[in-house]
């Protein structure tokens, strides 16, 4: 998982409320066995709308998505996070998120930032022409116009994102402790290392 400390650049001013995971990535895209290529299917139905932000070249490759309240509701599909990453989004800003989506985003290295609606409205306005800056270390979102918004994040999630630690990475970081435990277990519980039991 890629570490996140600072995300800066164009932000897609989407702003729509109650966007469920089927809108983020439709069900017929879930047949894939890889995480790559899902960006093409992201927001497929919305891309058919005239004047939508996802086919507008001004926001092509933008690393930030500004969404409305209750983003990521609906099914628990992790593909939604994979699709966002594949289209280049590493941070989503919204007033609130579905708990399951927020967890999936975190496990895949996407920062979710919850801000009040007034802040979302202002960032939507700024995003039309300017960039937005998110600093995870200081837990702040800033604009070129001196707007500054702070956000809360669980300390454990912050640590993992700053250090690029997913569940496998967290386990590997405890390698020395695990080896020490296994060594002591072989000494005190030799039957655990028995080839017969291991087979």
Q: How many CB atoms lie within 10 A of CB 159?
A: 12
From residue 58, give the alpha-carbon distance in Å to each of 85, 113, 128, 137: 19, 23, 9, 28
Task: Provide the whole-model pTM.
Answer: 0.86
How does pLDDT run across 143-173, given as a tens digit for each residue? 999 999 999 999 999 999 999 987 766 666 6
Kindly give the parts of the chain with pLDDT less than 70.
168-174, 190-199
Residue 195 pLDDT: 52
pLDDT of 168: 67
């Amino acid at each position: 998982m890629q570490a996140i400390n600072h995300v800066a650049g164009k932000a897609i001013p989407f702003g729509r409320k109650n966007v469920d995971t089927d809108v983020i990535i439709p069900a017929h895209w879930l047949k894939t066995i890889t995480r790559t290529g899902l960006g093409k299917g992201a927001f497929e139905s919305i891309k058919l709308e005239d004047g939508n932000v996802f086919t507008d070249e001004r926001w092509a490759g933008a690393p930030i998505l500004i969404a409305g309240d209750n983003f990521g509701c609906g099914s628990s599909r992790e593909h939604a996070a994979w699709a966002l990453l594949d289209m280049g989004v590493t941070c989503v800003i919204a007033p609130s998120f579905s708990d399951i989506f927020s967890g999936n985003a975190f496990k895949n290295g996407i920062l979710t930032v919850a801000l009040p609606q007034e802040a979302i409205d202002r960032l939507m306005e700024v995003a039309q022409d300017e960039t937005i800056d998110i600093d995870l270390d200081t837990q702040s979102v800033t604009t070129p116009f001196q707007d500054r918004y702070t956000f809360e994040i669980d300390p454990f999630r912050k640590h993992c994102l700053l250090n690029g630690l997913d569940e496998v990475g967290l386990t590997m970081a405890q390698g020395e402790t695990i080896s020490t435990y296994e060594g002591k277990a072989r000494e005190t519980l030799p039957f655990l290392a028995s080839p017969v039991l291991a087979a």
